[in-house]
Amino acid sequence: MIRVLVADDHALARSGLAAMLGVQPDIEVVGEAADGAEAVTAVGVIRPDVVLMDIRMPVLDGIEATRRIRRAPDAPAVLVLTTFDLDRYVYEALRAGACGFLLKDAPPGRLAEAVRTVAAGQALLAPAVTRRLIERFLSVPPGGGEALQRLTEREREVLAHVARGRSNAEIAAALHLSEATVKTHISRVLAKAGLRDRVSAVVFAYEQGLVRPGES
């Protein structure tokens, strides 16, 4: 079972999310939180696998709560849910360590799928959010910093494909590599650049100017 904590300052929203997930055979809602501070405390007590985190909450907002939760080495995945798809929220949430970003108007089936995705250690970004993320870094100059320079040419190629949202299988086909080799390259990229996961790798690639908007 995937154990989920729901954090939202609106009681109706919390109960609605809990109800949608509660009918799933492999998901159990084990707790609720009315603000970010409650979410941080609850994570330490309940030890969920996934936290559904609203962004705009009193006492402690979802971004800072995510940052505090994700500091722990055995931290749960955080899936950010919001009605706001503005780029600054996307950027801040991802930098705080969010594993996924989904708009609240997503259908119920998509929500359950998103929980399963981040629980499995994979990244998830809503398509509309991904477009805004790209636009957010439109003015970033190419070249990159020291961290990017530590990567080999092949590792940069793989990272660029990751930033464009391609799966390991698609990257392997494009670069004529095995999927196992692609996974190895991604692991090396994360280690060399000091990144947590695939989501942080996407942010890093755009920050460094490795990938430019409009590139295919």
Q: What is the mean pLDDT of residues 60-69?
A: 94
Q: What is the pLDDT of residues 125-178, one digit of tens each?
A: 655 566 566 566 545 555 557 888 899 999 999 999 988 878 888 899 999 999
- How wide is the angle at C-alpha 208 spanned by C-alphas 202 and 213, nearest 5°? 65
Model's pTM, two decimal places?
A: 0.71
Q: Is the pLDDT assigned to residue 193 strictly greater than 70? A: yes
Residue 202: the pLDDT is 81
Domain ranges of the chain: 2-135, 140-207
Distance of CA 158 to the CA centre of its chain: 19
Specify whether domain 140-207 bears CATH 1.10.8.100. no
- % of residues, the chain, pLDDT over 70: 85
Helices (H), the chain: 11-22, 36-46, 62-70, 87-96, 108-119, 127-136, 146-149, 153-163, 168-175, 179-193, 198-207
- % of residues, the chain, pLDDT over 90: 50
Amino acid at residue number 200? S
Structure tokens, 133: 């993320």
Residue 144: the pLDDT is 59
Residue 196: the pLDDT is 79
State how far the alpha carbon of 200 is from the alpha carbons of 3, 98, 206, in Å. 24, 9, 10
CATH classification number, 2-135, choose in 3.30.460.20, 3.40.50.2300, 3.90.1150.10, 3.10.150.10: 3.40.50.2300
